[in-house]
Amino acid sequence: MFDQIAQRIPTQTIYFEDAPTVQIAIKRLDMVHPRISGNKFFKLKYNFAEALRLGKKCIISFGGAYSNHIAATAYAAHLHGFQSIGIIRGEELAHRALNSTLQTAQQYGMQFQFVSREQYRSKDTADFLHSLNLQYPDAYIIPEGGTNALAIQGCSEILTDFDRQHYDVICCAVGTGGTISGLIEASASHQRILGFSALKGDFLQNDVAQWTEKKNWKIMDDYCCGGYARTSTELLQFMHFFEMQYQIPLEQVYTAKMLMGLSDLLKKDYFPAETRILVIHTGGLQGRNIPENT
């Protein structure tokens, strides 16, 4: 069902003056679909197929007020004939005008339940999920960020045989860990997977380790700019410079942080000469609308 709407994914070569011998290409997942963008396309693919197989009528998922995942899920549900419900963190949002992300999701038919941050922290517990199943017996529940075994199966399809043969390092931004887990599982034995976390802390190491037994990966949080949705003047300046130079749109939550981190590593000669790097552009360009330091 998703393959039928997929568009061609181009790979674009870029050049960094600080590392003239390192070969860098960007895989433009942001172009796979205009609404179900980037890694969300791959995360949702098999989840929606499973919902269809089970005869479910509704999709439920979770996210913050500016969640790429919520926006993509709403459109995918609309496109494939499902109802959709978003469990949104922050009960105070129920009394405010919807931001652009939630407006987009609502436009595609998503209904919202705004819950307190305390309630939201329990979203993965058996009691919380049981209550949802009782309330919505015809619903298929997708975790926050879309990360589950089916999402990882989908994300493993991001790498092609060509990618496995022609690149030494795969770089990607990391949020909930689903995309990098799929990349790790699909990677060749000679490849290294390098993740740039949008969040501060080493908890993602444990999260990803639950999905793979491979050891050819590393996640660093040195370039998260203080945490999710946080920015810095340096980051915004880098983002502007990069977009002007390469005409590749970024957003400040994930992709700009990853590429700023990669740029810094190249300046520090982190990679040996002649290293072939594939950068995964995970889309999420609606994140450009998030207010600074939300």
What are 15-37's pLDDT values in tens digits? Answer: 999 899 999 999 999 999 999 98
Q: Three-state SS across 222-233?
A: CCCCCCCCCCCH
The full set of domains in the chain, from first to last, is 2-34+149-287 (3.40.50.1100), 40-142 (3.40.50.1100)
Given a cut of 70, is residue 292 above it in pLDDT? Answer: no
Q: Which residues are catalytic?
A: 67
Percent of the chain at pLDDT > 90 equals 87
Q: Is the four-CA dihedral 145, 148, 154, 157 of positive or negative sign?
A: positive
- Tell me the whole-structure pTM to 2 decimals: 0.93
Question: pLDDT tens digits, residue range 120-175?
Answer: 999 999 999 999 999 999 999 999 989 999 999 999 999 999 999 999 999 999 99
Give the residue among 112, 63, 59 at the shortest CA–CA distance from 82.
Answer: 59
Given a cut of 90, is residue 289 above it in pLDDT? Answer: no
Average pLDDT, the chain: 94
